[in-house]
Amino acid sequence: MPAATSKRVRGTQVTRHFIIGNTACDLPAPGYPNPPPENHSKGWTVYIKPLPNGPDMCTWLKKVQFKLHHTYNDASRTIEAPGPFEVKETGYGEFGIEIRLYFAQEAGEKAVYREHYLVLAPYGSEEQQAKQKSQNLVVAERLETIEFNEPTIDFYKALTNEDQFNWLKVKQGQGKGKKPTYVFKGNADPTAQLPEKALENGKPAEGGLGAGGAWSSQFERQVLAQLQQSTAVLDQMLDEEKAMAEERRKKLAAVGATVGAAAK
Amino acid sequence: MASRADINAALGAEIQHQPVPRAGPVPKVAAPSKAARRPAPHRFKKPAVRGLRPAARWTYDESPALENGLSFRRWKKQTANSDSKPVDRFGRYNVKLDVPEYNDEIYAKHLTNPEWTKEETDSLFALYRECNGKWPVIIDHYSGSTERTMEDLKSRFYSISATILSINTPITSMTATDYGMYEMLNNFNAKQEASRKKLAEGHLYRRQNEVDEETVLLSELQRIMMNQATLDNEREELRRRLDHPIASNSYQYGTSQALTTFWQQLLAADRMKKNQRLRPTGNPTFDGMAGVASTSASRSSHAGLQDAARRNARESLPSAAAPQSGLSNELSKADLLRFGVVQSHEKLPSGVTFASDKLTKPRIAKSTVQTDKIAAILTHIGVPDLIALPTPPVVEQFESIMSKVHALIDLRKVAEKEEQELRVRSAEAAS
């Protein structure tokens, strides 16, 4: 690679949110082999996907390798851009899936590992579990934020290119002799940031179970509030500990004095 | 060499249908003798089969009688199946003109005009009807008491038409086409029309040299416009190469004097350092204060500036700095946010990092015992094992929690020690 392209943009970091997760359901279910293989009771899909209104992932992601449990045939599945980066399988047990992300050529970065623990059984509060059972759909996903520190100049240009949002555009207008124009159809402007509100028909954020729509600043505030609550508890514990330490010091002083007196 | 086919071609298609022996590939030796035998090319030889074609028969269509009582016949060739009924094929070209009508009452009420008498108006309308609305014919036939131009006639006629139209159907209940018509009639501007005609006429009678001049001018304009694009591109490229910083109010070194002062400051600052990176230009007007005394004087006066200057100097020295500033300047703040670009002044780790690592790695300490302790505290205060949303505020909050957790663990360690000591001491005291 010539030296000019590997030059990096100093003091700059480009962040991209994306979602790692899996969906699972009881078999038989549409989209999975029927009848299912012997003993297989669950169908699941593990995936990596961008935010619903975010920039295209293929700008930085070249391919993804999913390493399944070694009992699967052909356990490492590689999916090249443009994706979708997902693996659909059936099974009966949960395990950790190693996900290896390969970056675009111009990024000049090595591949990195992420891990996702496959969740098949309903989880969360009882209410949530009931809901997951009734829908026959368990969604376990988390938001991941990748930070490209001091990207190369070429990569930086690619990451700040307007074309990244082209995949969100919808073809419109096919007048004679006119080129079809592409426009954004969503009601929010596409952005790499978290949307203010969950986008998909106002589905409320449900503790990270949401199918992509839950990822919003609203949810971020919920998480923050939760953490702040924890901080408050922690502060209280710290105070108690300090009070106890103070008390001990007093006792110690008293004992020390008596010891000192006894020594005299 | 004229062959028979050539001659036939010259005589035209008329005789081409008669059987003609094809010229064909004549042996080369035979050709000159053939030409020599023929004295002169045949001239307009009458075709042998002349008169074989039957004479054309003609029939006619009787047209339906016209309004003025005239009738005419339209002759045409008779064909084999020409029993066709007399169709009025040309009837559709017999267009009737829709001329607005008015009576005395309407005229008196709406249509009076100081420049026109009723008689004149009547005769204009009659003429219009008679000439089928062909204005050049109308102006030719018009003979009024006053001299009038075609535009005068037209404007009078159109204004009356518009008025009558609006009387027949009020503007509020007009259909779109009617209203369009009304608008058009009302908007007739005689003066503009006259000047337009004059212009067109002038254009018609231009001299050759004027035409030439115009052509030259147009081609010149064309050339300029063609070059404009390339010129613009070149300029743009030049500008990009120069990559000049945009001079704003905050840029304080706008004048050459200010720049000289700045250079002197940098130079003075550089002299203070061990390894000097700047070399004096050798020109005393630029380098200024050669003596140490003057340097110190300037230092005291620009103490604050100097720091900034030194920093600037350091930043501007690596060659990478210039294009880089261009890169980040290209995007507006909103765009930076949209593309998730963060400008950081802290030292960034190299390569790719994940924000979620900041939520998991601090949980693991060097020893398993310590890790367990941290996990116990976190569970106690209700921090979940997996935080699904590693955004910067969340990470920040988590980091503050972790620092507190560590403080708590330290406190507990101290507490353990102190309690041990207390026990020993109290045992001592009791003994």
pLDDT score at B301:
44
Q: Per-domain residue ranges for chain A?
A: 5-156
Q: DSSP letter for B25, please.
A: -
| Backbone torsions φ then ψ of B323, nearest 5 degrees | -65, -25
Q: Which residues of B touch A229 (CB under 8 A)?
A: 382
In chain B, the residue whose alpha carbon lies closest to the alpha carbon of A238 is: B408
pLDDT digits (tens, 9 = 90+) for B164-176: 888 888 878 888 8
Confidence of residue B244 (pLDDT cuts 50, 70, 90): low
A234 touches chain B (CB under 8 A): yes
pLDDT digits (tens, 9 = 90+) for B393-407: 888 888 888 888 888
pLDDT digits (tens, 9 = 90+) for B99-156: 888 888 888 888 888 888 888 888 888 888 888 888 888 888 888 777 888 888 888 8
- Report the gap between the CA of A190 and the closest CA in chain B (Å): 8
A237 touches chain B (CB under 8 A): yes
Nearest to B71 by CA among B79, B81, B82, B63: B63
Q: Once rounded to an integer, what is the mean pLDDT over residues A115-123? A: 86
Say whether B380 and A248 touch across the interface (CB within 8 A): no
Name the amino acid, one letter, at B194: A
pLDDT score at B295:
42
Crossing angle between the packed helical segments A217-263 and B392-430, to the nearest 10 degrees:
20
Say whether A259 and B428 touch across the interface (CB within 8 A): yes
Distance (Å, rounded) from C-alpha A95 to C-alpha A68?
Answer: 8
Q: Which residues of B touch A153 (CB under 8 A)?
A: 323-324, 327
Say whether B340 and A245 touch across the interface (CB within 8 A): no
Say whether A262 and B429 touch across the interface (CB within 8 A): yes
- Report the gap between the CA of B319 and the closest CA in chain A (Å): 11
The three-class DSSP label of residue B323 is helix
A101: left (phi over 0), alpha (psi -120 to 50) or beta: beta
Picking from A190, A224, A234, the nearest residue to B405 by CB comes out as A234
Crossing angle between the packed helical segments B392-430 and B368-381, to the nearest 10 degrees:
110
Distance (Å, rounded) from C-alpha B210 to C-alpha B203?
Answer: 10
| Backbone torsions φ then ψ of A17, nearest 5 degrees | -85, 140
pLDDT score at A175:
47
Q: Which residues of A touch B348 (CB under 8 A)?
A: 11, 13, 149-150
Residue located via tokens 């005009």? B113
Computed over every residue of chain B, the mean pLDDT equals 74
Say whether B404 and A13 touch across the interface (CB within 8 A): no
In chain A, the residue whose alpha carbon lies closest to the alpha carbon of B352 is: A148
Q: Which residues of A touch B378 (CB under 8 A)?
A: 230
A192 touches chain B (CB under 8 A): yes
Peptide bond into A82 cis (omega under 30): yes
Q: How many CB atoms lie within 10 A of CB A262?
A: 11
Q: Which residues of A touch B408 (CB under 8 A)?
A: 234, 237-238, 241
Take residue B119 and report the two structure tokens written for it.
Answer: 């008689």
Picking from A146, A192, A241, the nearest residue to B412 by CB comes out as A241
Nearest to B89 by CA among B107, B64, B68: B64
Nearest to A104 by CA among A149, A55, A158, A61: A61
Picking from A16, A215, A256, the nearest residue to B340 by CB comes out as A16
Q: Which residues have a Cβ under 8 Å from the Cβ of B193 and sit 6 or more positions away?
A: B151, B154
The CATH architecture of the domain made up of A5-156 is Sandwich (2.60)
Position A69 pLDDT exceeds 80: yes
Q: Taking a C-beta distance cutoff of 8 angstroms, is the pair A68, A96 a contact? A: no
What does B28-52 look like in DSSP terms, one character per residue? TTHHHHHHHH--S---SPPPTTTT-
The three-class DSSP label of residue B362 is helix
C-alpha of B93 from chain center: 45
Q: How many CB atoms lie within 10 A of CB A6?
A: 13
Distance (Å, rounded) from C-alpha B267 to C-alpha A30?
Answer: 76
Position B14 pLDDT exceeds 70: no
- Best of B319, B324, B333, B352 to disrupt the A interface by mutation (most A CBs within 10 Å)? B352
Q: Taking a C-beta distance cutoff of 8 angstroms, is the pair A61, A164 a contact? A: no
Picking from A215, A224, A245, the nearest residue to B415 by CB comes out as A245
H-run or E-run covering B421: helix B392-430
In this structure, of A159-163, B98-102, B216-220, B284-288, the range with the lowest mean pLDDT score is: B284-288
Distance (Å, rounded) from C-alpha A28 to C-alpha A43?
Answer: 8
Distance (Å, rounded) from C-alpha A139 to C-alpha A129?
Answer: 11
Distance (Å, rounded) from C-alpha A13 to C-alpha B401?
Answer: 25
The three-class DSSP label of residue A231 is helix
What does B158-205 look like in DSSP terms, one character per residue? HHHHHHHHHHHS-GGG--HHHHHHHHHHHT--HHHHHHHHHHHHHHHT
Q: Once rounded to an integer, what is the mean pLDDT over residues A36-64? A: 85
Domains of chain B: 104-204 (1.10.10.60), 260-301 (no CATH), 356-430 (no CATH)
Q: Which residues pair with A46 in a beta bridge?
A: A22, A87
Q: Once rounded to an integer, what is the mean pLDDT over residues A180-201? A: 59
Picking from A10, A110, A234, the nearest residue to B408 by CB comes out as A234
In this structure, of A96-100, A184-188, B298-302, B364-368, the range with the lowest mean pLDDT score is: B298-302
A contact residues 196-225, partner B, Cβ 8 Å cutoff: 207-208, 215, 219-220, 223-224
- Report the gap between the CA of A101 and the closest CA in chain B (Å): 11
Position B408 pLDDT exceeds 60: yes
Nearest to B354 by CA among A117, A143, A227: A143
Say whether B354 and A191 touch across the interface (CB within 8 A): no
Picking from B320, B383, B398, the nearest residue to A7 by CB comes out as B320
pLDDT digits (tens, 9 = 90+) for A209-256: 444 446 777 778 888 888 888 888 888 888 988 888 888 888 878 877
Say whether A252 and B418 touch across the interface (CB within 8 A): yes
- Best of B391, B411, B412 to disrupt the A interface by mutation (most A CBs within 10 Å)? B391
Q: Which residues of A touch B400 (CB under 8 A)?
A: 231
Q: Which residues pair with A86 in a beta bridge?
A: A47
A contact residues 76-115, partner B, Cβ 8 Å cutoff: 103, 109-110, 112, 114
Position B217 pLDDT exceeds 90: yes
C-alpha of B406 from chain center: 63
User: What does each C-alpha distance from B74 to B77, B81, B92, B93, B95 come to in angstroms?
Assistant: 10, 18, 15, 14, 18
By CB neighbour count within 10 A (0-12 exposed, 13-18 middle, 19+ buried), where does B151 fall? buried
Q: Which residues of B touch A233 (CB under 8 A)?
A: 380-382
Q: Once rounded to an integer, what is the mean pLDDT over residues B382-398? A: 80
What does A100-130 look like in DSSP terms, one character per residue? EEEEPGGG----EEEEEE---S--SSHHHHH
In chain A, the residue whose alpha carbon lies closest to the alpha carbon of B377 is: A234
Picking from B382, B391, B425, the nearest residue to A220 by CB comes out as B391
pLDDT digits (tens, 9 = 90+) for B21-56: 454 444 444 444 444 555 666 667 666 666 667 777
Peptide bond into A35 cis (omega under 30): yes
Nearest to B309 by CA among B256, B277, B261: B261
Position B281 pLDDT exceeds 50: yes
Distance (Å, rounded) from C-alpha B63 to C-alpha B391?
Answer: 92
* R_g of chain A, CA atoms, integer Å: 26
B282: left (phi over 0), alpha (psi -120 to 50) or beta: left
Nearest to B128 by CA among B119, B141, B115: B141
Distance (Å, rounded) from C-alpha B165 to C-alpha B178?
Answer: 8
pLDDT score at B198:
92
> Number of CB pairs < 8 Å for A and B?
186
Picking from B343, B345, B352, the nearest residue to A112 by CB comes out as B352
- Report the gap between the CA of B255 and the closest CA in chain A (Å): 30
Take residue A150 and report the two structure tokens written for it.
Answer: 């001091």
CA dihedral B291, B293, B294, B295 (to 10 degrees): 80
Picking from A149, A164, A194, the nearest residue to B353 by CB comes out as A149
A26 touches chain B (CB under 8 A): no
* R_g of chain B, CA atoms, integer Å: 52
In this structure, of A103-112, A176-185, B8-17, B37-46, the range with the lowest mean pLDDT score is: B8-17
Q: Which residues of B touch A113 (CB under 8 A)?
A: none
